[in-house]
A = this chain, B = another copy of it.
């Protein structure tokens, strides 16, 4: 019995995630906060740095976008178009080893025709990936809009 307990312990230490769910959840929350901060500072490169090198972004009504360079160009386009005040709200998170899947909602503002702004609301799924150093990055990122009001 002692041998089996030892066996599970050794197996677990090799195969189990290096951190617990609460740590992963907190780390991903920090990355989302960094995403908001970079976006709202109009720092597209800072947003892109939060993605994996081989990230895939799937924006609505646009073609898929690949990699950090693609991500930077995409977010720069939105930022240059005047989008701002991004707010991300995590709704669900499921961690499986070095991958974590998140459902969230977002809101941001975009310029309207009369010189003001109007709010855009939507929802997303992000597949996060943890690298060997333990850093979580957006790996796949897809979103779409809420019903129009």
**Which residues from chain A sit less than 8 Å from chain B, CB to CB?**
3-4, 6-8, 10-12, 14-16, 56, 58-64, 92, 94, 96-99, 101, 103, 123-125, 127, 140, 142-148
Contact = CB atoms under 8 A, between A and B. Distances in A.
Nearest to A64: B123
Contact of A61 (B6, B97, B98, B147): B147
Nearest to A129: B94
A149 to B, nearest CB: 11
Contact of A59 (B6, B103, B143, B144): B144
> Secondary structure at chain A's binding surface: helix, strand, loop or mixed?
mixed
A148 B62 CA distance: 8
Contacts of A56: 92, 103
